Amino acid sequence: MLAGGAKLVGISLESEARPDGSRFVTVGIGVNVVGAPAGLPYPATSLAALGITARAAEVFAALSRRWLARYADWLTEGFAPVRERWLARAAGLGGPTRVVDGGRERSGRFETLDDDGQLVLRCPNGGALRVSAGDVHFGVAGTLRQDSAA
């Protein structure tokens, strides 16, 4: 999530296969409450820098309540309405995007999320690439190469 063009919140998704072939996903959410990391290829901010005085426990409680409400929506309405709400607020939609996964880098324009929740990149050659995992960088960070030593 961005605030004034700077990254305030990040989401991490990790998917793994079970021995029976089914999959599970672990979701992590990080909110810059007091400070923001430096040395990133994009601007970052924190709630404190935005003038919001909140403790991490308060942020966690509020985030948990909202997550439970959205999860209930998903269970009753399915993924399509969740996808629509997400796209209505998506940062970087239509802009340059870079995805790095396992040392492999792919670039294009962030076109949409497909019906399975995969990010769809429109590649320079006109083809569409569906991405289910990777570090995603939008805007200026989507066009810059990160220094591998950083």
Number of independent structural domains in the chain: 2
| Dist CA 47 CA 139 (whole Å) | 22
Q: Are 61 and 76 in contact, with CB atoms under 8 Å apart?
A: no
CA distance 100 to 122: 16
Q: The pTM is what? A: 0.70
pLDDT at residue number 26: 82
Looking at the structure, tell me whether residues 52 and 92 fall in a common domain: no
- CA gap 141, 135 in Å, rounded: 11
77, 102, 123: which is the final residue of a domain?
77
CATH number of the domain to which 106 belongs: 2.30.30.100
The answer on 101 and 39 residing in a single domain is no
CA atoms within 13 A on the CB side of 10: 18
**Which pLDDT tens digits describe the chain residue by residue (150 residues)?**
888 888 898 887 777 888 998 877 788 889 999 999 998 878 899 999 999 999 999 999 999 999 899 899 889 999 898 899 889 988 889 999 988 888 888 899 999 999 888 889 999 999 999 988 788 887 755 444 433 333
Assess contact for 133 and 120: CB atoms under 8 A: no
Q: Domain end: 77, 108, 140, which one?
A: 77
Task: Give pLDDT, residue 140.
Answer: 53
pLDDT at 148: 32
Residue ending a domain, choose from 51, 77, 103: 77
Q: What are phi and psi of 71, to 5 degrees?
A: -65, -40
Give the structural domain span for 98: 82-150
Q: Are residues 23 and 73 in the same domain?
A: yes
